A and B are shown apart, each in its own frame.
Chain A
Amino acid sequence: MADWVDACAVDDIEEEDLIRFDYGDRTFAIYRSPDDAYFCTDGLCTHENVHLEDGLVMNYVIECPKHNGQFDYRTGEAKRAPVCVNLGTYPVKVEAGRVWIQI
């Protein structure tokens, strides 16, 4: 059974941006969308294991900083080569100003 983990405060992430969140030996990316919703995906690009934390968020797309591959961070769907494999996504909830992810 996956656990809910307190990842960050809602204000830790700027609108239309992301932050990195490390938990144990795993790493994640947590996003705040332009309409103020929060999402969580695996932190590493599925193409060549580059962390997405330095990438560019454009609406609901995260672009990898190394090769410009794109994913829809709401679904993890790979949208633009060179990425072909989808990102893992995780449930998110916001409670009392904190962002929780189920991992």
Chain B
Amino acid sequence: MAQRNYSLLGPDAQRAVETGLATAEWYHTDIPRKDMKTLMKREDRPAIRDTIILFGAMLGFVAIAIALMPSWWALPFWLAYGVLYGSAMDSRWHECGHGTAFKTGWMNDALYQIASFCMVRNPVVWRWSHARHHTDTIIVGRDPEIVAMRPPALFRIFLNVFGILDAINGWGRMMRNAAGQLDPEEASFIPEREQAKVYRVARIWVAIYAATLCSAIAFQSWVPVLVIGSPRLYGAWHHVMTGVLQHAGLADNVLDHRLNSRTVYMNPISRFIYWNMNYHVEHHMFPMVPYHRLPELHEKIKHDLPVPNGSILAAYREVWPALKRQLRYEDYFLRRSLPASAKPYREDLHTEALGVPAE
């Protein structure tokens, strides 16, 4: 395969449309409608509980951190606050964007707006971007949310461990949107009637950041900046660590999520921060299932999925060599074996697009 072009306006985007990879039908594990209805059922209680814990912990950590300043003992509390701001908000943005976290619509919308602000992701732009990610998951030229490209941009990922590229890009786009301009790639997936909302949100955010900076200057204090904005940098590492595992090293240009997505068993703290998105194959196959039902969904369909990685460390032991190999040979990808109970991979849907699998 020729070198991949990830532009949404480039030749691979056109090729995906021509070869039928774009907006295609995907493989789904069979699951009875009755079971699916139970799994999809919405409720408010789990997300209200988790949101109270999240905001309570953020408030607690930041209060202790401020009280301990200027001592170095404040540092771990700032770091803990940062992870909740710069990483837990990533999964809240994600789940509330799907509208599945809460049963009550305004609760989803309210947390979605807050999380979008924390992650510097325009809530309108990214709702459409993520819709495309689900339509065309890891289809080159179609999916705007591919993290580990081929060859893998490892330095870019490393910088994003500290939020550097994503946040700066987000702030840059915010200024551009606030000025009433839209990136041409964004315009390719956001309907015209939605574009005024992009500009309105960006202008509100600019006002919030301006107030933060003004108060920092007025009080001659770093505290406002440590509370708002910069945690997107110093707290980003956890969402990058977990996010890379979602698809890295696996196939691209395929129509079976078992080939391009990864489920990883994780510790309870990471699962709280990540809101169970470690069940990533399950989420992509059935995005209607709320985060708190994903473990149950996993139990019902695991007979048809590759065996999950046992931990974050185990997953990186699989991903890292694959990424290193992709630096030299970008068509390489991991093709994990399926259990005997599983239906075979639907390679017939995308045979032409596959590279050479790992032996």
Contacts and interface: CB of A to CB of B under 8 A. Distances in A.
Contacts of A58: 42
A67 to B, nearest CB: 5
B288 A68 contact: yes
Mostly, the A contact residues are loop
Interface in A37-82: 47-49, 54-56, 58, 63, 65-68, 70, 80-82
B191 A67 contact: no
A5 interface: no
B309 interface: no
A45 to B, nearest CB: 11
A84 B99 contact: no
Contacts of B42: 56, 58
Contacts of B127: 81-82
A66 B191 contact: no
A61 to B, nearest CB: 9
Contacts of B41: 56
Contacts of A66: 134-135, 287
B347 interface: no
B210 to A, nearest CB: 28
A91 B158 CA distance: 57
B37 A17 contact: yes
A47 B33 CA distance: 23
A77 to B, nearest CB: 15
Given A63-B288, A65-B288, A56 B135 contact: no
Interface string B259-292: 0000000000000000000000000001110000
Interface residues of B, number: 23
B36 A67 contact: no
B147 interface: no
A67 B40 contact: no
Given A48-B23, A68-B287, A54 B135 contact: no
B241 interface: no
A70 B99 CA distance: 10
Nearest to A54: B36
Most buried by A among B41, B42, B191, B288: B288
Interface string B125-163: 001100100110000000000000000000000000000
A84 B105 CA distance: 17
Interface in B193-231: 193-194
B194 A84 contact: yes
Contacts of B33: 54
B4 interface: no
A90 to B, nearest CB: 23
Given A17-B37, A82-B128, A67 B287 contact: yes
Contacts of B135: 48, 66-67
B100 interface: yes
Contacts of A84: 191, 193-194
A55 B288 contact: yes
Nearest to B133: A67
Given A48-B135, A66-B134, 17 more contacts: A47-B131, A48-B23, A49-B23, A55-B288, A56-B288, A63-B99, A65-B288, A66-B287, A67-B131, A67-B135, A67-B287, A68-B100, A68-B287, A68-B288, A81-B194, A82-B127, A84-B194
13 contacts: A17-B37, A47-B131, A48-B23, A48-B135, A56-B40, A56-B41, A56-B42, A63-B288, A65-B288, A81-B128, A82-B128, A82-B131, A84-B193
